Amino acid sequence: MKGYFRVLAVAGGMLITMLAAAPTFAQKQGGILKLSHFDSPASMSILEESTRAALQPAMGVFNNLVMYKQDVPQTSLQSVAPDLATGWSWNEDGTELTFPLRQGVKWHDGKLFTAKEVKCTWDLLTGTASEKLRLNPRKSWYANLQALTTNGDYEVTFHLKRPQSSLLAAAAGRGVGHAAGASSDIAGLRSRYGGEPRRSTRYDAEARLWAQ
């Protein structure tokens, strides 16, 4: 009987040690994420794609300004949380939505993420950029957006023609708010795949996407 309790004591001690160390393991960075997928994405140009086949793997590489909390079963404005933005605020009449941006965020090539990438993203989405997307499945979503302005390197403001509280929900959706998914030109959008610590290192449409 004493031996039995001794075994239980040792096992219990090991379990406590493992549970205490769990947060350390959860915070470890790096490695390779492997997941099964039902199809091969047509491309990693996320602004030009709209199918689940493309968005599901791409959203693990790109960032939004804001996103829905992943532990809340039903999406709503109350479940929106900051991502590349640190927060948001509306003006009194609901026609200006301002996002302060995180500082120190880097692309996988080491260059800093700034407000100009956010402006580039929405200039492409609204069709006001000099270069055009090959496909723009979300252009109609932003028909009420009059302009997007930058205030220094780390703040952007969306100026609306009329109040639209759903703009925040649109920015949090899959495949719509990925400000870290665009650089200052269209070629960069299709090749500069994401920010640290997640990035796509190689994409082969006929084989697999490597992300780490």
- Convert the pLDDT of each residue in 102-149 to its tens digit: 999 887 778 888 999 899 888 888 989 888 888 888 888 899 999 999
Query: Is 87 part of a structural domain of the chain?
Result: yes
Cβ 211 vs Cβ 200: under 8 Å: yes
Q: Which CATH number fits the domain that encloses residue 52?
A: 3.90.76.10
Q: What are 39-50's pLDDT values in tens digits?
A: 777 777 777 777
Residue 78 placed within a domain: yes
Tell whether 5 is covered by a domain.
no
Q: What pTM did the predictor assign? A: 0.70
Number of domains in the chain: 1
Q: Minimum mean pLDDT among 86-100, 109-123, 174-188: which range?
A: 174-188
Report the distance separating Cα 113 and Cα 85, nearest Å: 11
Residue 1 belongs to a domain: no
Buried b / exposed e over 124-158, threshold 16 CB at 10 Å, is bbbeebeeebeebebeebbeebeebeeeeebbbbb
Residue 145: inside a domain, yes or no?
A: yes
For residue 176, is it within any domain? yes
Average pLDDT over residues 164-176: 82
CA distance 176 to 170: 7
Confidence tier at 16 by pLDDT (50, 70, 90): very low
User: What is the amino acid identity at position 186?
Assistant: I
Would you say residue 157 lies in a domain? yes
User: Using CA atoms, how far apart are residues 118 and 183, in angstroms rounded to an integer?
Assistant: 9
Q: Could you tell me which of 67, 154, 156 has the C-alpha nearest to residue 112?
A: 154
The per-residue pLDDT of the chain, averaged, comes to: 75
pLDDT band with cut points at 50, 70 and 90 for residue 201: very low
11 within a domain of the structure (yes/no): no
pLDDT digits 0-9 by tens, 148-158: 999 999 999 99
Q: Domain residues for 205?
A: 32-211
Predicted confidence (pLDDT) at residue 60 exceeds the cutoff of 60: yes
CA distance 121 to 51: 19
